[in-house]
């Protein structure tokens, strides 16, 4: 079955440590996205990538980094510079800049990061 | 600026009808989405509107008025499993979705 796989589902980290969240998709989608969700708030865009080897900052990129070396993979690193990293992180993808693309996003199951 | 507003919480009775409103101001518009999200889970797609009017899909319907920057999601014959957050999102420029904060719907017997 095609879909988006995020791992780990739950992650605990000590302050000052970097952590990398994995996102893999087998939907053959060009575009991939990372969102952060906090209680009572909507999804906020961290980074997105329209094509391999290219990515752009979203609205809250500070303290995060990404790479897009393969079409299928878009890992997110939460660095120690991120002041309040405890949150629910969602990876998503869509077909990208194709004619007729509505922009609909397909989501992974999410990764919940807790900083102790 | 870009802004999407929807009520924070709503409650309704099983079997009833509920309407969740969404107003938006965005720099671009390529369509409006509604997603359902149960606690701790990923959002799932409910509907997409790009033209004015009503789109019906089973118990759920979604309406769009582009001139008013307004949409609503209508849920009929409410069931307990409909208790969830409902996210309004606008497809703006650069192939990005902009999300509202979500409306938490509680359905009670």
* pLDDT of A99: 61
HSE-up of residue B88 (Cα within 13 Å, Cβ side) = 28
Average pLDDT over residues B60-81: 97
CB contact under 8 A, B33 and A104: yes
* pLDDT of A83: 87
Tokens of B30: 């390529």
Percent of residues, chain A, with pLDDT higher than 70: 96
* pLDDT of A48: 94
Average pLDDT over residues B68-89: 97
* pLDDT of A100: 64
**What are B9-48's pLDDT values in tens digits?**
999 999 999 999 999 998 888 899 999 999 889 999 999 9
* pLDDT of A2: 73
CB B70 within 8 A of CB B22: yes
Lowest-confidence range among A49-58, B28-37, B62-71, B89-98?
B89-98
Q: Which residues pair with A34 in a beta bridge?
A: A47, A91
Q: List C-alpha distances in Å: A103 to A8, A33, B96.
A: 26, 12, 7
Residue B98 phi, psi dihedral angles, 5° rounding: -110, 125
Chain B residue with minimal CA distance to A48?
B96
Tokens of B96: 């990005």
Identify the band that residue A110 occupies on the pLDDT scale cut at 50, 70 and 90: very high
Asked if the C-beta of B100 comes within 8 angstroms of chain A's C-beta atoms, the answer is yes
* pLDDT of A1: 67
**What are A61-70's pLDDT values in tens digits?**
999 999 999 9
Q: What's the rounded Cα separation, in Å, for the pair B83 and B107?
A: 5
Q: What's the rounded Cα separation, in Å, for the pair B87 and A43?
A: 9
Per-residue pLDDT at B79 exceeds 80: yes
Report the mean per-residue pLDDT for chain B.
93
Per-residue pLDDT at A6 exceeds 70: yes
Report the mean per-residue pLDDT for chain A.
91
Chain A residue with minimal CA distance to B9?
A40
Average pLDDT over residues B75-103: 90
Per-residue pLDDT at A102 exceeds 90: no
Average pLDDT over residues B57-62: 95
CB A103 within 8 A of CB B95: yes
Residues of A whose CB is below 8 A from B96: 33, 45, 48, 58, 103
Identify which of A63, A60, A65 has the alpha carbon closest to the alpha carbon of residue A82: A63
Chain B residue with minimal CA distance to A39?
B101
Per-residue pLDDT at B77 exceeds 70: yes
Q: Give 3-state DSSP helix, strand, coil % of chain A, rounded to 5.
A: 0, 50, 50
* pLDDT of B1: 66
């Amino acid at each position: 079955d095609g879909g988006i796989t995020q791992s780990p589902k739950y992650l605990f980290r000590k302050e000052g440590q970097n952590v990398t969240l994995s996102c893999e998709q087998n939907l053959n989608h060009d575009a991939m996205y990372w969102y952060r969700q906090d209680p009572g708030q909507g999804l906020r865009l961290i980074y997105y990538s329209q094509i391999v080897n290219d990515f752009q900052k979203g609205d809250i990129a500070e303290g995060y980094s990404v790479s897009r070396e393969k079409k299928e993979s878009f890992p997110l690193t939460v660095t120690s510079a991120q002041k309040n990293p405890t949150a629910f992180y969602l990876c998503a993808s869509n077909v990208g800049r194709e004619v007729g693309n509505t922009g609909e996003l397909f989501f992974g199951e999410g990764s919940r990061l807790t900083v102790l | 600026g870009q802004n999407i507003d929807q009520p924070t919480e709503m409650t309704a009775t099983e079997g009833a009808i509920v309407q969740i409103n969404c107003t938006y101001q965005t720099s671009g518009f390529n369509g409006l989405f509604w997603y359902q999200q149960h606690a701790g889970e990923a959002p799932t797609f409910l509907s997409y509107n790009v033209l004015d009017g009503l789109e019906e899909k089973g118990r759920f319907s979604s309406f769009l008025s582009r001139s008013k920057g307004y949409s609503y999601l209508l849920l009929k014959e409410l069931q307990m499993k409909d208790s969830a957050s409902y996210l309004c999102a606008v497809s703006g420029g650069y192939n990005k979705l902009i999300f509202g904060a979500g409306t938490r719907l509680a359905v009670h017997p």
